[in-house]
Amino acid sequence: MSRYRLQPTPIQEAALLEHCRHARFVWNLAVEQWAGWRRGRKRPPDFGEQ
């Protein structure tokens, strides 16, 4: 297995951090939508609906 080390410039680092914040927001939103599903309700949202 190979390992690589990133050495981003300050601008690249800011862009990577922004991307990570967006990804985390989307993940948390999906977890919240699934957690809100209960039996008796319509099915939980699928990939396309999310």
Q: Which two tokens stand for residue 3?
A: 């390992």
Q: CA–CA separation, 45 vs 48, rounded Å?
A: 8
Tokens 């957690």 sit on residue: 35
pLDDT tens readout for residues 1-48: 899 999 999 999 999 999 999 999 999 988 888 887 766 777 766 767
Three-state DSSP state, 28: helix
Q: What is the pLDDT of residue 30?
A: 85
Whether 50 has a pLDDT exceeding 70, the answer reads no
Give residue 10's identity as a one-letter amino acid code.
P
